[in-house]
Amino acid sequence: MNSGTTVADKIALRIRHNQKGYFSTLGISVTNRCTLNCAHCIRGSTAHSSQMDTKILSDIIDGIPCVKRLVNQVAITGGEPFLFKDAIHRITEAARSSEIKTSVVTSAYWARSPAAARETVRSFPWIDKFSISTDLYHQSKVPLSTIRRAYDAAKAEGRLVRICVTVNSRNSEEEKAMLAGISEFAYDADIRVQELLPWGRAIDKYSGPISSRVPPIPCISTGPFISELGVIYPCCGPLVTVPSRTALQETLDHSLYNSLNRVKLNPLFHFLRIWGFGPLFERLSIAGFSSLLPREHLPVTPCSTCAALFSVDEINEYLLGLSKDYEFLLEVVAGSVHIMEDNTLLDAYFPCEERLAK
């Protein structure tokens, strides 16, 4: 990178780099149950939340061999996936047979002793990576000593481990002490720190900046997410918490590949990846929706804006129609080819044979 490179250039490069990872990971929530009841839980998980039924689980497992053409990693999440061990076993075994990498997001509550930690890790031989979530909210139920046991057991068994730490303010003494405590036993490369965002039960816990400006960052989803109810979203972000059906989601049918492909080829989703929310807000203003547009945004992410926008039924309905509009499709396909240098949409909507026949 030459010395004339600006911060904006670096951010743009970073965004494009992340966007290259588009559809690399398929998230699957096998259960939304969890007994920890953390005060900041984005999914609002409780001990009585929904769990995936056998039919949806079987459709996913049957579809995994074909999914290899779309994604290269499956991330099992929840709720707490270890409350539905059979689902973890079956999905990770199917993924391993198809040479797809697997990871499981967990609170590591099961690492109650060194022996229990080792036993749990050993009994899931097809999990490639343990993604352990912790923060001050988790630690009142799962202390750092338990996280350490899970980390050590996974490392001893030759698995990858990532400790994902959510912080509300990196400057708080308590959070600094927590991060220092984790650094005592985990390599820096295994620790990922992320900011708490006002989604799900954390809605009133966010203390970061709020802006009236629509965030300039486009959608940087790295892959779709299937909920325990068989609803497919373009990401695992706050769209998952929107109660009504959004113009970006699909329902899993008997073909996992086709269902995921419908999400992947949604022109509205690509509009958000290519141009982001500013141009969409302009379009919605022209269409007469100014008074319904969200007015508060987070400068650091477009995802809160996305969830707020798709929570407005009238806007959702308009965007559903727009995503089926031919002129809109042409515009998005052109953007995808010329800006993203990606022919996926062109090939899907305007197959080469048809183009040559014209």
Give the residues lining the site for ligand SF4 (CB under 6 A): 34, 36-38, 41, 43, 45, 78-80, 107, 133, 138, 219, 221, 234-235, 237-239, 248, 272, 302-303, 306-307
Q: Closer to ligand SF4 at the Cβ: 220 or 329? A: 220
Least Å distance between CB 309 and ligand SF4?
Answer: 9
Least Å distance between CB 305 and ligand SF4?
Answer: 7
C-alpha–C-alpha distance, residues 36 and 29, integer Å: 17
- Please state the length of the chain: 358
C-alpha–C-alpha distance, residues 61 and 232, integer Å: 15
- Residue pair 225/67 in contact by the 8 Å Cβ criterion: no
The closest of 264, 244, 261, 265 to 253, measured between CA atoms, is 261
Q: Closer to ligand SF4 at the Cβ: 198 or 302? A: 302
Q: Closer to ligand SF4 at the Cβ: 75 or 272? A: 272
Least Å distance between CB 182 and ligand SF4?
Answer: 16
- Residue pair 14/190 in contact by the 8 Å Cβ criterion: no
CB-based contacts of 258, cutoff 8 Å, min separation 6: none
Q: Closer to ligand SF4 at the Cβ: 94 or 161? A: 161
Beta-sheet pairing, 73-77 with 191-195? unpaired
Least Å distance between CB 61 and ligand SF4?
Answer: 23
Q: Closer to ligand SF4 at the Cβ: 138 or 162? A: 138
C-alpha–C-alpha distance, residues 129 and 246, integer Å: 31
CB-based contacts of 40, cutoff 8 Å, min separation 6: 135, 137, 166, 196, 200, 201, 202, 205
Least Å distance between CB 97 and ligand SF4?
Answer: 28
Q: Closer to ligand SF4 at the Cβ: 101 or 201? A: 201
- Residue pair 133/167 in contact by the 8 Å Cβ criterion: no
Least Å distance between CB 31 and ligand SF4?
Answer: 9
Q: Closer to ligand SF4 at the Cβ: 80 or 250? A: 80
Dihedral angle at the C-alpha atoms of 24, 30, 33, 35, nearest 10 degrees?
Answer: -70
- Residue pair 182/191 in contact by the 8 Å Cβ criterion: yes
For residue 114, give the H/E element and its range: helix 114-122
Least Å distance between CB 139 and ligand SF4?
Answer: 11
Q: Closer to ligand SF4 at the Cβ: 19 or 66? A: 19
- Residue pair 314/289 in contact by the 8 Å Cβ criterion: yes
Q: Closer to ligand SF4 at the Cβ: 230 or 237? A: 237
Residue located via tokens 């481990």: 161
Helix-strand-coil percent breakdown of the chain, rounded to 5? 45, 15, 40
Q: Closer to ligand SF4 at the Cβ: 56 or 303? A: 303
In terms of phi and psi (left: phi > 0; alpha: psi -120 to 50; beta: otherwise), the region of 227 is beta
Least Å distance between CB 107 and ligand SF4?
Answer: 4
